[in-house]
Structure 1
Amino acid sequence: MTNHHTTRPRPRRAPRHLRPARAARAIASLMGVALAAHLMACTPQAPDGSTTGNGATSPSAASSATGEAVSPASPTGSGAPTGPASPEPSPTGSSPEARSEVPVLARAPQSVEWGGQDLDLTGTVSIISLGGQDTAEQEAELSAALTEVVTSAGGTVVEEEAGPQARIVVGTGTASAAAAGYLPGGMTVPEQAEGYAITTTRVGVPTAVLLGTDAAGTRYGATTLSRMVLDGTLHGATVSDWPLMTVRGVVEGFYGAPWSHEARTDVLAFMGDQALNTYIYAPKDDPYLRTRWRELYPEAELSQMAGLVAAARTHHVDLVVALSPGGDICYTSQADFEATVAVFDQLRSIGVTRLAVALDDIPGSVGCESDRAAHGESPTALVAAQSSYLNRLQDEYLRPNGLPDLIVVPTEYTGTGPSAAKTTQARTLDPSVRVQWTGEGIVTEAITSQQAAETAQAYDTDGLIIWDNYPVNDGDNAERLFLGAVTGRDPHLHEQVEGLTSNPMIQAYASMPVLASYGSYTLNGPAYDPVIAQDEAMAQVAGTRSGPLWDTLEAFTDLSVSWPFSEDMPASPGLSADVVAFETALEGDDDQAVDSAAQTLQDRLALLSQAPTTLQGVQVTGYYEDCEPWILAAADWADAASAAVDLRLALRAGDQDGATQAAERMEQAAQEAETARVVSVSSEDTPDDQPVEQSLVPEVGDGLLAQLVEDARAAQEG
């Protein structure tokens, strides 16, 4: 880690095309001098007469989703139009019926009505900001996201004065109210936190309007806007959206090498794009959270933590730090309470405002004499001692400092329904403390609304937050990647829990596709489709939806979509189908069917064989490096399996020389595939919790590729 002093990020000015004063002057020629004058009047002025970056503007004319003109309220309240420019009807042919297709939104909004004015983003596009982001960094990040929408479509962002061919207008908070006239009649910005509304209209040129309930909602709307673009066209629609779960995010809570600072920063940026708003920092192998929890963070580590706080704020993520003192704490000790407060004070000094205590995976009985004296030695004494400590933190530290309620991972964090520990916790713990729970077991195939409701009642909490141990691959699963979209979570779970956080893989970048699926699910569980979510996640990784890179990523992902704990995630479904088709054809007498099935399987294997080269072109930096051990293993197994197919075909044709040559190639590739390539570091179940490093052989394809080799060996021997 780099050793540097904590510095406060220097505010960045909004880009020139997003500064409200410039936007006001540009709008003047289009919507009338009176409207622009009102916009200027609403723009806050600095002492020197210049404008600040968060000014609100007045509404302008708008059109409905079908292109029907709607008169906005006048700045003076008269309801009369304020300028000579008026909305124009949408061009004929912009309805969904007239288009061959509209985009599929993996993050399904609460409502979307396709139709209205399309925007061609391949030409010149202006971006007008009405302000409202909480920080200059957020404003700059939003600007970058919207600029990316335009440039990815093939267009160029220009100043409004340049006479753009299309326009994007964006506002937040109070700016949304001021710009309400952009919206069609009867449509409003959602009242729910983190909500937004999008509509398309025509005011001189085709215009998309994005208005957020708050800063986070506006940013999430920008992502939806980007998903509405297909082949350079932003398809006309009216969208209203807000998240159904309050807490949506990631808990870095695995055993093994913690993520790097760079990876965490990149994940925070990714989370902002996926509408994931909570990051719980709880790596088991951070000594300053667990084994050395009484010590303050050294300067270098604290500086990096401050960087995470700043990055989280920029991307609308709540950074939660979870202290894990349960291994050796004395809950009734004043010295240990003061040590906890000292750590919390240090974290609060760098901007951490959400705190947690993780008491998972610790001894199940009280460990010091004063705890036994105060709470006895019954099976539930530990819970009572923990509650006394947690209540003090809530009452004596968090509340007096105006901080959000404490989050706790209880020692009994699994199971549905009442138990002695849960009943004691319900009786002794402050009900304001939020409780994390993993489901029926530590790793849970399915979580239902009924299970969550019963658990919340058992804990006596209305703040149940699921700690979901998927796609985590520590411990016995370190040889695996889990790349399939989340399944098995009740569509209506949001009605019973405050939120859900996913415990990701040790490989941060490889976790991103699954985290994207959690974003879709927690935003709108009833509309969540794991197939669509998987497709969208792969497209984000690849940066494309077609061509060799897409086909190869699809083939590689197929090898790791299964999960040992779920029957909903079948073993390598694409590969499995091709293998079954080949084996079935071999049992018959139709040579043409055999050749066809063999060619289909060989085509898939050829993609995997070339994956070490092809997949280096993925768009997500770090994804290839995270997956490289499995990509190399897949390539070796693909070469072995390809030779196995050749061997079976040669034997069928009576070509003994060809069979011998194929067998030699098969055995050499299979030997390479067994190379230990995964470096695993973990302190779980090790003496004194000291990290131990080991090398592991990566597992890919659920054994199907190895089985092809075994079957070829058997065929040759038979």
Structure 2
Amino acid sequence: MAKRIPLGVIEGFFGRSWSWQQRTELASFLRQTGYDYYLYAPKGDSRLRSQWRQDWSPHDWRALNSLRQHYRATGVKFGLGLSPLDLCGPQGRTDGASLDTKVTRINELQPDILALLFDDMRGDTPQLAAIQTELAHRAAALTSASKVILCPTYYSDDPTLEKVFGARPKDYWETLGSSLDPAIDIFWTGPKVCTDHFTRSHLGDVAERLQRRPFLWDNYPVNDGAIKSKHLYLKPFSRDRADIGDLLAGHAVNPMNQFNLSKLALASLPRAYASANYQPVQLFNELLEQLCPPVLRAALQEDAARFSAEGLGKLTPEQRAHLSEHYSQLADDSGMSAEVADWLAGKYTFDPACLTD
């Protein structure tokens, strides 16, 4: 059985965002299923990304404050993911005051976790590791959060990252690992951006490079990429997740755009860490029974494998229309059938801003 480490959900996907109501509802689900924290980092919040220097609108700031208060009341830790990407360029280092202003504003929420996210940016920049270390130390000195996590630009061995974001600077990981305060964790997605299977040897090697245990950013069951958006990943986490906890600093799950359907996979991860005899196949049936009304349970038992393996690409327009109508008619309180119907009808469109899959 894996060592128990902090488990959480990071809302870090592209495309159709969750609603404030869904984010609020998630708190009790996380508490009930055994998660420790939630990281608010939606790609659709420009005040954390492209317009990070700007303040939130009064409406969104009130919603964010209300969300944070709800997580505190529920007993689940709360954090935010900030992406000050333009500070990593040559001119950005002269504008550290903007980072100070933003972190000070975030402090008003009294977050438990602050994540600095340097993914989704050009990385072929001289002294990239030194710049990001400097920014992380600056934020860590100012934040009221008790935990700081950095997501590097190259957060995987996957060659896709260099194809999209440029050549990785020489000794990037080793420099980051040796210069970054050991108290700051580093996100890692595995040998691939979306890793199916984790090995102990890989994670041990990563720990040597980063000079600390990696904080796993698990891109299952996320489905926001050009290919993955055509699939629904409903099955529990695979068995390998039950045997890697002692090699990790923490484990964060990036879920699907489909809020309610994500619960099926999410509910399985704490079970993997808690059980010495984790059986994902049997667990799937248990979770269907716990989370789905009977009529939807039967439909997903029949279709889940096809939705995951084959996806929309293998369905004819007629099959999609038929299935969409079928799930629409199931209308249930869980909200899952409506999400399946919308996915089949093409209402979860791919966001081209997502450059990796």
- Measured against the shorter chain, the TM-score band is 0.7 to 0.9
Which residue in 1 is equivalent to 2:330? Answer: 615
Which aligned pairs between 1:88-487 and structure 2 lie closer than 5 A?
Answer: 244-327=3-86, 329-330=88-89, 336-366=95-125, 377=126, 381-394=127-140, 396-398=141-143, 401=144, 403-415=145-157, 420-462=171-213, 464-476=214-226, 477-487=228-238
Which residue in 2 is equivalent to 1:555? Answer: 302
Q: Residue 446 of structure 1: CA displacement?
A: 0.7
Which residue in 2 is equivalent to 1:540? Answer: 290
Which residue in 1 is equivalent to 2:337? Answer: 624
Preserved contact between residue 239 and residue 278 of structure 2 (Cα < 8 Å)? no
Alpha-carbon distance in 2 for matches of 1:391, 1:331? 18
Q: What SS does the aligned partner of 2:299 have?
A: helix
Q: Residue 541 of structure 1: CA displacement?
A: 2.3
Alpha-carbon distance in 2 for matches of 1:347, 1:313? 15
Alpha-carbon distance in 2 for matches of 1:609, 1:258? 21
Larger Rg: 1
Overall identity of the aligned pairs, in %: 25
Alpha-carbon distance in 2 for matches of 1:273, 1:325? 34
Structure having the larger proportion of residues in helix? 2
Q: Residues 619-655 of structure 1, C-alpha deviation per residue, up to 9 Å, x if partnerless? A: 42x222211135xx5xxxxxxxxxxxxxxxxxxxxxx
Alpha-carbon distance in 2 for matches of 1:361, 1:246? 27
Which residue in 1 is equivalent to 2:347? Answer: 678
Alpha-carbon distance in 1 for matches of 2:41, 2:95? 19
Q: Residue 536 of structure 1: CA displacement?
A: 2.1
Preserved contact between residue 251 and residue 281 of structure 1 (Cα < 8 Å)? yes
CA, structure 1 residues 454+551, in 2 after alignment: closer, same or farther (shift >3 Å)?
same
Alpha-carbon distance in 2 for matches of 1:611, 1:563? 19
CA, structure 1 residues 411+465, in 2 after alignment: closer, same or farther (shift >3 Å)?
same
Alpha-carbon distance in 2 for matches of 1:508, 1:486? 17
**AA in 1 matched with 2:262:** S
Q: Residue 614 of structure 1: CA displacement?
A: 6.0
Q: Residues 228-284 of structure 1, C-alpha deviation per residue, up to 9 Å, x if partnerless? A: xxxxxxxxxxxxxxx933211211111112211111112222111111112111222
Which residue in 1 is equivalent to 2:165? Answer: none
CA, structure 1 residues 337+562, in 2 after alignment: closer, same or farther (shift >3 Å)?
same
Alpha-carbon distance in 2 for matches of 1:679, 1:423? 39
Q: TM-score, normalised on structure 2? A: 0.84
Structure 1's unaligned 5+ residue stretches are 1-109, 111-242, 367-376, 565-571, 573-606, 634-675, 687-718
CA, structure 1 residues 609+259, in 2 after alignment: closer, same or farther (shift >3 Å)?
closer
Q: What SS does the aligned partner of 2:4 have?
A: coil
Preserved contact between residue 249 and residue 277 of structure 1 (Cα < 8 Å)? yes
Q: What SS does the aligned partner of 1:436 have?
A: strand
**AA in 2 matched with 1:551:** A
CA, structure 1 residues 259+327, in 2 after alignment: closer, same or farther (shift >3 Å)?
farther
**AA in 2 matched with 1:389:** L
1:504 maps onto 2:246 in alignment: no
Q: Residue 682 of structure 1: CA displacement?
A: 2.1
Which aligned pairs between 1:512-591 and structure 2 lie closer than 5 A?
Answer: 512-524=263-275, 526-543=276-293, 548-562=295-309
Q: Residues 121-169 of structure 1, C-alpha deviation per residue, up to 9 Å, x if partnerless? A: xxxxxxxxxxxxxxxxxxxxxxxxxxxxxxxxxxxxxxxxxxxxxxxxx
Aligned length: 335
**AA in 2 matched with 1:428:** S
CA, structure 1 residues 508+327, in 2 after alignment: closer, same or farther (shift >3 Å)?
farther
Q: Residue 344 of structure 1: CA displacement?
A: 2.0
Preserved contact between residue 306 and residue 350 of structure 1 (Cα < 8 Å)? yes
Q: Residue 610 of structure 1: CA displacement?
A: 8.3
- Name the structure, 1 or 2, with higher relative contact order (CA <8 Å, separation 6+): 2
Q: Residue 435 of structure 1: CA displacement?
A: 0.7
Q: What SS does the aligned partner of 1:406 have?
A: strand
Which residue in 2 is equivalent to 1:578? Answer: none
Preserved contact between residue 258 and residue 286 of structure 1 (Cα < 8 Å)? no
Preserved contact between residue 520 and residue 528 of structure 1 (Cα < 8 Å)? yes
Q: What SS does the aligned partner of 1:559 have?
A: helix
Q: Residue 613 of structure 1: CA displacement?
A: 6.0
Q: What SS does the aligned partner of 2:331 have?
A: helix
Preserved contact between residue 471 and residue 514 of structure 1 (Cα < 8 Å)? yes
Q: What SS does the aligned partner of 2:155 have?
A: coil
Structure 2's unaligned 5+ residue stretches are 159-169, 315-321
CA, structure 1 residues 563+460, in 2 after alignment: closer, same or farther (shift >3 Å)?
farther
Alpha-carbon distance in 2 for matches of 1:440, 1:261? 33
